[in-house]
């Protein structure tokens, strides 16, 4: 412990925290194996989507800049969470230094927030595409999308730097055992022995601003999209326009519904600690794994680009063999 005394008050900053999340969980090793599988699929799936977008000229569009960003954040978010979780609980490295804990908290929440904001950007893309189709290419350009995503990153980093920075004002003079599976903000600030009301206020503001508000805006955008689709005379055109939204709607449901469900449940009734930890860890681990699968299977442009890349690779292989044979 490191402590400073002034005016009869003691400020204590622990050297380490002990992450206790899965300690009392029965058959936990099976769950870690499952998380290893989830992480492997997440890395392969999101890397595949990013490579496909990078290699296919067809996908060099403003919309797919946002899709690339989502895949990158899914990959980084899972990498910030799952490998450290496996290391802590499977190999018994549950002690984490104070500074490393704050860094872990920042990166897990930052990448999770970027995923949320990217889904909001993709909803904006669909809104403009369906409600203002003639102006789409003038409004949604690669430059405007790059600026939007860049601003989003700066905004998120600033907000979570403040959130994590406010933890430094807390004194931890009692337990340093964190009842979670990573350096979670709520369980850590609940261990403080001085006033943490500002920290809770900031957490509630960020949850409302970065989770609840995007859900409301996305819902309103789809109400506008639905109203625009009803004005389309031909049923075939309406179905075609609706199909462009299905993959995004699936991503929105997979990302937001579990998070909102777990948080509403924890507010309304008390949840068993193990159940809360499992539910929360799954809400953070599963969406990054499913996102590339949904985008690959549900998006016609991506499927066509994959087929074109495969054919190109096949042709290049045949040419390479012929060149070798001619030599």
Determine what percent of the chain is predicted with pLDDT higher than 70. Answer: 93
In this predicted structure, the answer to whether residue 2 has a pLDDT above a threshold of 50 is: no
155-178: average pLDDT:
93
Query: Which is the CATH superfamily of the domain at 14-326?
Result: Rhodopsin 7-helix transmembrane proteins (1.20.1070.10)
Tell me the three state secondary structure of residue 95. strand
Phi (first) and psi of residue 60, to 5 degrees: -85, 65
Whole-number mean pLDDT of the chain? Answer: 87
Chain segment 71-89, per-residue pLDDT in tens: 999 999 999 999 999 999 8
262 CB-contact burial (10 Å; exposed 0-12 / middle 13-18 / buried 19+): middle
d(CA 294, CA 87): 29
Chain segment 262-278, per-residue pLDDT in tens: 877 776 666 676 777 88
153-179: average pLDDT:
93
In the chain, where are the structural domains located? Answer: 14-326
156-160: average pLDDT:
96
Residues 6+ apart with CB under 8 A from 169: 194, 198
7-34: average pLDDT:
80
pLDDT at 3: 45
- Residue 156 structure tokens: 């998120």
Tell me the H-state helices in 91-196: 98-131, 136-139, 142-165, 185-189
How do beta strands 177-178 and 95-97 pair?
A: unpaired
pLDDT at 1: 45
d(CA 115, CA 34): 23
Chain segment 269-305, per-residue pLDDT in tens: 666 767 778 888 888 999 999 988 887 777 777 888 8
């Amino acid at each position: 412990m490191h402590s400073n005394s002034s005016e009869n008050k003691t400020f204590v900053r622990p050297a380490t925290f002990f992450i206790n999340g899965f300690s009392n969980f029965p058959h936990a090793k099976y769950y870690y194996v499952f998380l290893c599988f989830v992480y492997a699929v997440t890395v392969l799936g999101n890397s595949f989507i990013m490579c496909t977008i990078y290699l296919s000229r067809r996908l060099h569009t403003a919309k797919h800049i946002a899709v690339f960003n989502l895949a990158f954040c899914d990959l980084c978010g899972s990498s910030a969470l799952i490998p450290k979780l496996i290391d802590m609980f499977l190999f018994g490295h549950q002690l984490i230094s104070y500074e490393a804990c704050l860094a872990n908290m920042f990166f897990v929440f930052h990448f999770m927030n970027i995923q949320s904001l990217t889904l909001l950007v993709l909803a904006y893309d669909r809104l403009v595409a369906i409600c203002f189709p003639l102006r789409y290419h003038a409004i949604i350009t690669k430059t405007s999308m790059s600026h939007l995503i860049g601003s989003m990153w700066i905004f998120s980093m600033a907000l979570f730097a403040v959130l994590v920075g406010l933890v430094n004002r807390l004194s931890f003079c009692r337990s340093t055992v964190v009842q979670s599976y990573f350096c979670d903000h709520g369980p850590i600030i609940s261990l403080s022995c001085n006033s943490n009301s500002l920290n809770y206020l900031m957490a509630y503001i960020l949850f409302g601003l970065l989770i609840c508000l995007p859900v409301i805006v996305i819902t309103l955008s789809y109400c506008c999209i639905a109203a625009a689709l009803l004005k389309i005379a031909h049923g075939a055109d309406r179905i075609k326009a609706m199909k462009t939204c299905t993959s995004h709607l699936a991503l929105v449901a997979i990302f937001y519904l579990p998070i909102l469900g777990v948080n509403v449940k924890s507010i309304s009734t008390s949840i068993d600690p193990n159940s809360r930890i499992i539910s929360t860890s799954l809400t953070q681990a599963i969406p990054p794994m499913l996102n590339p699968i949904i985008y690959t299977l549900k998006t016609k442009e991506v499927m066509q680009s994959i087929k074109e890349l495969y054919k190109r690779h096949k042709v290049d292989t045949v040419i390479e063999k012929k060149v070798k044979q001619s030599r």
